[in-house]
Amino acid sequence: MHRSTIYWFRSDLRLHDNPALLRSAAESQQLSCVYLHDPAQDAEVCHGFRRMGSHRRRFLADGLANLASRLASLGQRLHVLRGRPGAILPALAAATGASHIFCEEIAAPEEQAELEALRRAGLQVESFWQSSLLDPADLPFDIDAMPRVFTAFRQRIEAAGVTPHTTLSAPSTLPPPPSSWPALSQAICLDASSAGTSIATFLGADEAAADDPRSAFPLRSAAFAGGESAALQHLAQYFESDLPQHYKQTRNGLIGTTYSTKFSPWLASGALSPRRVHEALRAHERRLGANENTYWIWFELLWRDYFRFLHRQHGSRLYRAAGLSQRSAPPHDPVAFRRWCEGRTGEPFIDAAMKELAATGYLSNRMRQNAASFLVNDLVCDFRAGAAWFESMLIDYDPCSNQGNWLYLAGRGTDPRDGRRFEPLRQAAMYDSDGAYRGLWNATC
Ligand code: FAD
């Protein structure tokens, strides 16, 4: 038992199915709950836009406010601090007398480097892998020998009958916070009395535009707000409905809130555990029946795991210009890239997608594929610039899924077809035959 520890929330903004938090609570007499906002998120990347755009800031602010109120119901407080982990956490540990830091493990290189910096600073860091559907220890292969192609990965898992672990309940009690807390600049404490507004201001989320009524993920409405409460409610509603019974048929839709599950923003911020999604899926299947449509939700969640495990396997190699290929650095055209970001390519199907993305922070999987292919194959731009724009814009930005999908489409990952070109006219004819999607987003320009 430690006298005092710090729980560092990362992309796991939840109390349910959070093994790291439970362990931290079980081993501590006093617990400090913190979330860090890295100033690098406020800086411009080399392409001239902020690393974290306004939609994700808004979703994150709501998620943190919700987490704070759930912690407050257990007598805890959430402290949100601005700074780099390697600079802030050692000072905080010294000030609170904390011997250990508990947190989740994230396979992406920057997130790994954060933990290394803490360990170099002499801190005892206990990190737990808890973001995937399947436990890496249950995989029927060593991570170093993971099948390179997704289909083989999935088939090996299914043949071995690997299933996710049962989820853990949220803690019913937590150790109290330390009686005194150091005075820190660049910090706010979210307790029971603080409203979402202060955290929104702190994160610079205030400037986010009001919800666009056309949004497929209207994050300003309570049903689509950031945080565990809305996530669990959405999960329950989705699986109580018969939408999963048609998922495979509707998932390539482009308009509206119901064509796909819309779980991704909550999964990416960790407000929702993928294992909890799986339990709800199986309960739905017991009630309404299992079929190809419900199977396809499992199938898509396996894609998410695949990119996570790929990061465990290859780490920073995935962030080289060549990715996993032998290809030379991709060409880039900054002017064409800017036109793509702004939805001014002149190709109405792609422009509609880019306008939707900028206006709402969300884009269907179909249009992400089209937009990415167009940038790489038609505009002959660097996929890394596209990945950076998606990172800035997407409310569901997740390093593993984003980098993995971009590499895949750019032919620098694990696609056996060596890259994919989506022909916009053909795609528009297949998925927007009546022009409703193009009309919806291009009408105002
Ligand atoms: P659904 O169709 O309902 O799928 C259910 C869940 O399965 C999703 O919530 C997601 O967790 C997972 N999933 C589905 N498709 C994929 C996929 N191709 N790769 C990984 N997981 C998948 N997803 C992110 O969560 N964050 C990202 O940053 C991200 N960047 C992407 C970039 C590109 C270029 C492309 C082509 C796809 C990207 N995706 C990303 C994957 C996918 O587009 C979204 O997960 C999906 O559109 C989210 O909507 P949904 O929850 O309704 O998905």
pLDDT digit string, tens, across residues 8-34: 999 999 999 999 999 999 999 999 999
- Taking only the tens place, the pLDDT of each residue in 291-341 is 999 999 999 999 999 999 999 999 999 999 999 998 988 999 999 999 999
Q: Is 303 helix (H, G, I), strand (E, B) or coil?
A: helix
Q: How many CB atoms lie within 10 A of CB 328?
A: 8
pLDDT (average), residues 103-127: 96
> How far apart are the CA of 410 and the centre of ligand 1, in A?
17
> How far apart are the CA of 182 and the centre of ligand 1, in A?
40
Confidence label for 56 from pLDDT (cuts 50, 70 and 90): very high
**pLDDT exceeds cutoff 90 at 207:** no
Under 8 Å between Cβ of 414 and 148: yes
pLDDT (average), residues 397-422: 90
Beta bridge partners of 28: 2
Residues with a CB atom less than 6 Å from ligand 1: 251, 260-264, 267-268, 297, 300-301, 303-304, 307, 364-365, 368-369, 372, 390, 394, 396-398, 401-402, 405-406, 409
How much is the mean pLDDT over the chain?
94
Residue 226 gets which letter from DSSP? S
- Taking only the tens place, the pLDDT of each residue in 257-278 is 999 999 999 999 999 999 999 9
For the CA atoms of the chain, what is the radius of gyration?
22
Of ligand 1's listed atoms, the one at least distance from the Cα of 368 is: 36
- Taking only the tens place, the pLDDT of each residue in 343-385 is 999 999 999 999 999 999 999 999 999 999 999 999 999 999 9
User: Which residue, judged by its Cα, is nearest atom 31 of ligand 1?
Assistant: 402
**pLDDT exceeds cutoff 90 at 191:** no
pLDDT (average), residues 233-244: 98
Residue 361 gets which letter from DSSP? S
Under 8 Å between Cβ of 129 and 18: no
- Taking only the tens place, the pLDDT of each residue in 124-182 is 999 999 999 999 999 999 999 999 999 999 999 999 999 999 999 999 999 999 988 87
User: Which residue, judged by its Cα, is nearest atom 50 of ligand 1?
Assistant: 262
Q: How many CB atoms lie within 10 A of CB 357?
A: 24
Give the Å distances, CA to CA, from 19 to 7, 243, 309, 408. 12, 31, 19, 32
Q: Which of 273, 271, 264, 274 is nearest to 216 (CA)?
A: 264
Under 8 Å between Cβ of 422 and 370: yes
Q: What is the pLDDT of residue 15?
A: 98
Q: How many CB atoms lie within 10 A of CB 101?
A: 25
Q: What is the pLDDT of residue 108?
A: 97
Residue to probe by mutation, ligand 1, list 300, 377, 381, most atoms within 8 Å of CB: 300
Residue to probe by mutation, ligand 1, list 257, 269, 296, 405, most atoms within 8 Å of CB: 405
Burial class (CB in 10 A: 0-12, 13-18, 19+), 426: exposed
User: Which residue, judged by its Cα, is nearest atom 13 of ligand 1?
Assistant: 300
| Residue scoring higher pLDDT (378 or 198) | 378
Total residue count of the chain as it appears in this document: 445
User: Dihedral of the CA atoms 306, 274, 106, 66 (nearest 10)?
Assistant: 150
| Residue scoring higher pLDDT (183 or 380) | 380
**pLDDT exceeds cutoff 90 at 214:** yes
- 125-134, 206-215, 287-296, 397-406: least confident range: 206-215
3-class secondary structure for 169-221?
Answer: CCCCCCCCCCCCCCCCCCEEEECCCCCHHHHHHHCCCCCCCCCCCCCCCCCCC
Longest dimension (CA), the chain: 65
Confidence label for 184 from pLDDT (cuts 50, 70 and 90): confident
- Tokens 């495979």 belong to which residue? 248
- 16-25, 186-195, 225-234: least confident range: 186-195
> How far apart are the CA of 30 and the centre of ligand 1, in A?
38
Beta bridge partners of 37: 82
Q: What is the pLDDT of residue 71?
A: 96
Q: What share of the chain has pLDDT > 90, as a percent?
A: 88
**Dist CA 376 CA 315 (whole Å):** 23
Q: What is the pLDDT of residue 180?
A: 80
**Dist CA 202 CA 197 (whole Å):** 9
Give the Å distances, CA to CA, from 97 to 173, 249, 256. 22, 55, 50
> How far apart are the CA of 246 and the centre of ligand 1, in A?
18
Confidence label for 201 from pLDDT (cuts 50, 70 and 90): confident
Q: What is the pLDDT of residue 288?
A: 97
